[in-house]
Amino acid sequence: MKKATVLIATILLSSLLFQGCSTPPVIKSADVLYKEGEQFFQDGKYEDAIAQWKKVKETYQSPELSTKAELNIADAYFLNKDYIEAAAGYEDFRKMHPKHLQADFALYRQGMSYFNQIHSIDTDQTPVKNAQTTFASYLSLYPAGTQLAEVQEKNRECRDKQIQYELYVGRFYLRTDAYKAAIARFEGSLKMFADSTRRDEVLYYLGRAYLEDGQKAKGREIFGQLASEFPGSAYIADANKAMDSFF
């Protein structure tokens, strides 16, 4: 009885093994994989699209489709709000295909990937710096690029966020009586962002920092500059109040 049982088990196992060997896995062409990725992408299934397009690259069958897949993968990451991966994908695409017709688009999207990582003013400002640097590169490399208008706008926004951060830090130094540190921060802001629309605000806080530091003559000079450059500024009234409290 035991021998019969063992024999039956052996036959069943051999049959299963034979069936497994007789049905080799289906190997899809790069074209099929690419089209499947497109369908997933259109359906909003970005992770599935990425998986298929990565397979396109792994087949090494079509350099043209692989190039398209590389940019599509970055796009899928971007639309899926995986901005860190998207930024890396667009950067890699540009490095591998610097003369590609869509290299300017990839640079724009790389900047937007950083821009979309920006949060409040009291958090890490690395995304702001990365976005501004990327947008500045776009303006330099593609002065007539398709995304020029939006890049210019986003670049201005990044610079404004940068000076907002400088003001945030400078005001913190003022509140904590670190007046010399505040002065250095505001002076640096005036040099770095000479064309900022917040220049009057920086001048006001710089004048206050000088007054608080005991440098009354310098404070008066800065407030005079504020009144001269921005006669209609809302900060002039605050400057006058500050002057009255120190003189």
**pLDDT digits 0-9 by tens, 219-230:** 999 999 999 999
Give yes or no for residue 93 having a pLDDT over 50: yes
- Predicted local confidence at residue 176, as pLDDT: 97
- Predicted local confidence at residue 26, as pLDDT: 56
Please, what's the b/e burial string for 207-244 (b: 16 or more CB within 10 A of its CB; e: otherwise)?
bbbbbbbebeebbbebbebbbeebeebebbebbeebbe
- Predicted local confidence at residue 22, as pLDDT: 46
Give yes or no for residue 17 having a pLDDT over 60: no
- Predicted local confidence at residue 18, as pLDDT: 44
For the beta carbon of residue 91, count every other beta carbon within 10 angstroms: 16
For the beta carbon of residue 37, count every other beta carbon within 10 angstroms: 27
- pTM, entire model: 0.85
- Predicted local confidence at residue 138, as pLDDT: 98
Q: Mean pLDDT across the stretch 152-167?
A: 97
Contact 107, 137 (CB under 8 A): yes
Q: What percent of the chain lies above the pLDDT cut of 70? A: 89
Longest Cα pair distance anywhere in the chain, in angstroms? 113
- Predicted local confidence at residue 129, as pLDDT: 97
- Predicted local confidence at residue 28, as pLDDT: 86
Q: Tell me the per-residue pLDDT of 49-86, one tens digit each, with 9 for 90 and over.
A: 999 999 999 988 899 999 999 999 999 999 999 999 99
Which tokens go with 67?
Answer: 């190039």
pLDDT band for 99, please (50, 70, 90 cuts). Answer: very high
> From the CA atom positions of the chain, what is the Rg in Å?
30
Closest CA to 183 of 150, 152, 154, 215: 215
Q: Tell me the per-residue pLDDT of 103-136, one tens digit each, with 9 for 90 and over.
A: 999 999 999 999 999 999 989 999 999 999 999 9
- Predicted local confidence at residue 4, as pLDDT: 44
Q: Which of 5-14, 144-153, 230-239 has the lowest mean pLDDT?
A: 5-14
Q: Which CATH class is domain 177-247?
A: mainly alpha
